[in-house]
Structure 1
Amino acid sequence: MIIENATMEDVLPLVKLAVVMFNESPNYGRYNDFDGGKVFDILVNLVDSDSGIVIVCRDDSGEIVGGFVGGVDVMWFCRTTKVMYDNALFIHPAHRGGMTAVNLLKEAFRQAREKGASQAQVTNTTGVFSKHVERLYQYVGMEHVGGFYKLDL
């Protein structure tokens, strides 16, 4: 597996991977309004931005099988303190079980430090293997400080 920064050529394959993520999620997959154009635009903006962090994982054939999408921004209640955030961390179901997610996160943390972030803040809102994801985040040294709550309206 190869971990590297995404390029503009990787945006469309990442949108296709986002479809897999969306459909697998019991939280998001029940909606019928996935907007690939919006996802495409967000990815283009992040790939093109100095504050974006978009990392892909390729298999031996060069196909993208996972990725991290996020960036670094000033905390909403601070003027200078920067934090890393995530939009998505996803590994295609056929490629799970190894160290790919760990390696993606470690690279995201490295890039976030480089961009001036003093903390990483990530979420798990898909509802897929939540306990596994919690263990993953703890494995890479993260502390559980809150939770994600939802209410269908």
Structure 2
Amino acid sequence: MTEISVVELGIGDRAPDFDLPRDGGGRVRLTDFAGKPLVLFFYPKDDTTACTAESISFTALAAEFEKAGAAILGVSPDSVKSHDKFVKKHALSVPLASDEEKTAAEAYGVWREKSMYGRTFMGVVRSTFLIEADGRIARIWSKVKVTGHAEEVLAAVKEL
């Protein structure tokens, strides 16, 4: 497998900009969230068990995040069409961006070599970034375990 250069972002770094198509049509950019905190969560695939649970958890807490002044955006390599089906099937309220070219995943360092059942492949490592109103990274969760994650992120938002 060819070696890829992986970006390592840290706390205090400026969050990389992105411009991606989103569910329901239109585009979404990091600059759309200027002036408010953003919870940016990267997940591997629509309608898989863990990804569904994570998206439902963020949807369930969406009003709490809004009350705390933060926006939420999910990103995966799936198509907009896939996102639209996923949103409808699970009544998701969080916006989902399509990163089919993996530009955002690479910029955030979450497109990495993974292995499962002895096979190695490239994929998204489930990760969440809490981006402050000024565009700097406040917190990073890598290799996220879904249970309790949305609640943990909400607590971090409230600490900003």
Instruction: Report the TM-score, using the length of structure 1 for normalisation.
Output: 0.31
Q: Which has the higher contact order (CA 8 A, sep 6+)?
A: 2
